Every structure is written in C-alpha cells, then in structure tokens.
Amino acid sequence: MGLDHVGIVESVENGMVTTIEGNSGDRVRRNERPIGVSDYAYYGVMNGTFTTVSDLVISAICGNFWRESTVNAGIWESLIVMPWDYIYNYSDPNKGGYGIGGFTNTQSQYGTDMRLLRMHDWCVNNGYAVDDGNAQLYYIMFVERLWAGVYQNDNFDDYLASTETDLYTLVDQWCRYWEGVPGNAMPERYSYAQQAYDYIQAHKGDDPKNYRWIVGNRFLTTSETLNNVMCLYFWFKSYYTPSSGGGGEDGKRKKGRIPIWMMLRNPRLFL
C-alpha cells in the first residue's frame, strides 16, 4: 500500500498497526503490519489537513518540556504534592506546576483558568493515571490545543504542521504561545531542544517497544529524560504508545490498545 492509498487505523497494539482498507484486493479488508515499515507513512489530521509533525517541532516541544519537568509527566514543580485546584503563586516557594508541560491553575485580571485541574479531571474521567505520559500528550494535542491563551485553537494545529527549519524559532514559539512565558530561560530551552534533536537523530531507528515512560515526583537524570524524549517522539511519529510507567497518581491505566473513541473523535493516523 503506497502513499496514494488511504485506510483508517483501527488500532495500534504490540508494535502492529491494524487498518481497515476499502480497496485492498478489490474489497474491504482488515490488514495488519508492523510499525516502522518504510513503505508506509503515518499522517495526522491537523486543521483539516493531512500533515506530519517534523523532528524539529518535536525537539522544540521536548526542549520546553525538559526545562519545565525533565520531560516527566509525574513531577510537581517544587517536588511538593499540592491540591489539584491550587492557584499558582509565583511568590510561593511550594509552587504547584505539575506534569510534562508544567500545568498550572492561574488567576489574573482576566479571570481564573483551572488548566491543571482540567487536565487532571480529563485523565481521571477517561480512565488514565494523571502521570501517564501518553494521556498528557493526547490531552495537550487533541483536547486542550492551547495557543496564545486561546483553547481549541487552529494556530496550535498550524504549529504542529510547521515546516520551519530554525529550531530556536520553534522553541521560542512553544515557549511564548503554549507555555505562556515569552523569553523565559530561552538559552536553556534551546540547548535542551538541540540535545533532544541530536538524540532523536541517533535513535529514531530504535525499536519503540524498547522505551517505557519514566515518571515520578523527582527530577530525572539526563539519560532518563532522553528516554522520555524518545517516548514522546514515537508517540508523534507512529502513535505507538510506549508503556506508561509510573502509576502513582489516581486513575486507571489502559494497556496497549488505543481506545476506539479516540480514533473516531480524532482520526490521528492514516495510511
């Protein structure tokens, strides 16, 4: 099946992609093939357009997440567990940012934004542990889609589809429009993004099944962070969901198979 042939991904499990194809041997057929076969391309639907997420965009996101959490879906910013409805206070030494991107609840002249609480509730209501890296990524990319303070934003989709080749620009855009802290620690974020990019280039041919999310309420080592960079990379590139790891937060983990309601609501992968 080449790039001129389209099918619907039914499931991704144990390194195999199962598709429903309408013109496979002149009939509708369910086919199964291993992830990573070079003759097939996996596409996402962003803003109504087929697109892939580039290695540079993924690396820019990783650089920002590295700065916020060491790419750790289970960490509290100050390593002190806070209530999920805690309103972030910059002067409080026990700051309450949480998760891979440092989710916070904030209060300003424009009102209260319970961003962390919404992510927590979504994970729990959909059967995931809150420290599940796969669940947090899905929430960020398909449920929240925050860009420049606006939720469900088409500009967020445009960023994921970006063909920008300057890594610093991509790091800056994510920091500015998703993290909401323009210019914050940019040299550090860029350095992390470059490390992520170099590591991805060296390891993108690895078997995704060799990677498992490392999570917990602690700062990860560099090698652990790079392991999670690859988990994030494979999530984007093939929707293979590396084992979640961790498990300390409330909510039940789903194993292996991507829920069919996710497929129907957001047909993330096509062939």
Residue 13: its pLDDT value, please? 60
Give 270's DSSP letter. Answer: B
**Percent of the chain clearing pLDDT 70 (strictly above):** 72
Kindly report, residue by residue over 138-180, the tens digit of the pLDDT: 899 889 999 999 998 989 989 998 999 999 999 999 999 999 9
Kindly report, residue by residue over 13-55, the tens digit of the pLDDT: 655 667 777 666 667 778 776 554 444 544 444 433 334 799 9
Host H or E run for residue 173: helix 167-174
Helix runs in 31-166, H state only: 55-69, 115-125, 133-138, 154-160
Residue 46: its pLDDT value, please? 40
Q: Is 145 helix (H, G, I), strand (E, B) or coil?
A: coil
Comparing 16 with 117, which gets the higher pLDDT?
117
Residue 14: its pLDDT value, please? 55
Residue 81: its pLDDT value, please? 95
Kindly report, residue by residue over 172-222, the tens digit of the pLDDT: 999 999 999 999 999 999 999 999 999 999 999 998 889 999 999 999 999
- Mean pLDDT over all residues of the chain? 81
Residue 21: its pLDDT value, please? 74
Residue 262: its pLDDT value, please? 43
- How far, in Å, CA of 62 to CA of 102, rounded? 13
- β-strand partners of 30: 20
Tell me: pLDDT of 253 over 70: no
Tell me: pLDDT of 72 over 70: yes
**Per-residue CA distances from 57 to 52, 60, 177, 182, 229 (Å):** 10, 5, 14, 17, 12
